[in-house]
Amino acid sequence: MKKKIEQADRTHPAFKNKNADPFYNIVMEGLADEVDGEHFWDAVAEDAVFEFLYNFEGFPNRLEGRKVYMDWFSGYGNVLHSADGLRVYKSANPANVIILEYAVHGNVPSTKKEYHNRFCSIITIKDRKIIHWRDYMDSLAVVLSSSRD
């Protein structure tokens, strides 16, 4: 008997904010053989932990729970138009860790500047769901695209 795939709440504002679709899509491409679900949020366990190893005023370093991260993403303000440069690395030990390198491209409406950023996301999978996410990025890209000068 096939296990029923648990979908995230499709009425949540994180689904209506299409600004992050290139991010969602490239992550799902990188995790295609590792997780279940049609959308990024379907692949995230309800109790997943997200760590962001960069510091910006007002940006959390840790979020616990899918809904908490969805709530944050519902207000995502950058407009992404593409993502590329995907590299996928699968850990041998432990076997449930996937490392994704990728870039996103778009603009920051509040500054009218282009936004190009590179990420390295270390993702732990259990029962075909994301249970832990540790993120590194090019912090200078955020500073440059967010400054009003």
Strand ranges across the sheet with 44-52: 62-64, 44-52, 129-137, 113-126, 97-108, 79-90
Specify the CATH number for the domain of residue 83: 3.10.450.50
Confidence band, pLDDT 50/70/90 cuts, at residue 5: low
Q: Across residues 116-136, what is the average pLDDT?
A: 96
- Give domain status of residue 7, yes or no: no
> What does the alpha-carbon distance between residue 138 and residue 106 come to, in Å, rounded to a whole number?
15
CB 66 within 8 A of CB 50: no
Instruction: For residue range 8-51, list pLDDT tens digits in order.
Output: 888 888 887 788 999 999 999 999 999 999 899 999 999 999 99
Residues near 116 by Cβ (< 8 Å), separated by ≥ 6? 103, 104, 105, 141, 145
- Determine the pLDDT at residue 8: 81
Residue 142 lies in a domain: yes
**Residue 85: inside a domain:** yes
Q: What domain range is 64 assigned to?
A: 13-146
Residue 3 lies in a domain: no
Average pLDDT score over residue span 58-76: 89
3-state secondary structure of 133: strand
Preceding omega of 94 cis (within 30 degrees of 0) = yes
Average pLDDT over residues 118-123: 97
pTM, entire model: 0.89
DSSP letter at 18 equals G
- pLDDT category at 2 given cuts 50, 70, 90 is very low
The angle at the Cα of 124, spanning 24 to 82, to the nearest 5 degrees, equals 20
Arithmetic mean of pLDDT over the chain: 90
Whether residue 8 lies inside any domain: the answer is no
Place of tokens 């295609």: 32
When divided into structural domains, the chain yields a total of: 1
What is the rounded average pLDDT of the residues 127-148? 88
Single-letter code of the amino acid located at 37: G
Q: Is residue 98, in this structure, part of any structural domain at all? A: yes
DSSP 8-state secondary structure symbol assigned to residue 65: S
The answer as to whether 25 is a domain residue is yes
Tell me the per-residue pLDDT of 87-115, one tens digit each, with 9 for 90 and over.
999 999 888 999 999 999 999 998 999 99
